[in-house]
Amino acid sequence: MPDSHHRTTLPPPLALLRDTPAGAIFALAAKDALLEGVAACTQRTVADAEWRNGQRTLVLTLERGPSVTFTAAGQHLACACSCRKWHPQSHCSHVVTGWALLKRAVSPESLAAFRFGDRSCATSRSSWG
């Protein structure tokens, strides 16, 4: 299996995420959704990942969960979720979980204080490979 660390060019949503400070996660959602999303990192894994829109959009389907969409809009990473709790002005816990899993996958040294399941990041990294 090739080592994705040495890949120099990431698709736009992942490149944006790599260049975003990990602390930006705390501004993603209200406190309840944030805590729920962070807690879910220990259990959630990515069931499926699909590129759309010429690799400008990454759709992550969480295991036993909804689909979270990350779209590169210029220098902005737009997030959305298919669940009912999601709203453009208040992201749900799934966006937080998906963001954290992806961030950890593209910047393995980040979010060191977070606990991730053994499988979660490896799965997200292999999903887009």
Q: How many residues bind Zn ion (CB under 5 A)?
A: 6
Residue with tokens 């120099």: 8
Least distance from Zn ion to the Cβ atom of residue 98, Å: 9
User: By the 8 A CB rule, do 115 and 29 touch?
Assistant: no
Helix (H) or strand (E) segment spanning residue 51: strand 46-52
Least distance from Zn ion to the Cβ atom of residue 70, Å: 13
Q: Which is nearer to Zn ion, 13 or 65 (CB)?
A: 65
Which residue from 10, 39, 78, 83 is in contact with Zn ion, where contact means CB under 5 A?
Answer: 83
Which residue from 25, 79, 92, 111 is in contact with Zn ion, where contact means CB under 5 A?
Answer: 92
> Using CA atoms, how far apart are residues 54 and 86, in angstroms rounded to an integer?
25
The residues, ordered by sequence, that sit 6+ positions from 91 with a Cβ below 8 Å of its Cβ are: 28, 29, 33, 79, 81
Q: Which is nearer to Zn ion, 19 or 50 (CB)?
A: 50
Binding site for Zn ion (CB under 5 A): 66, 81, 83, 86, 92, 94
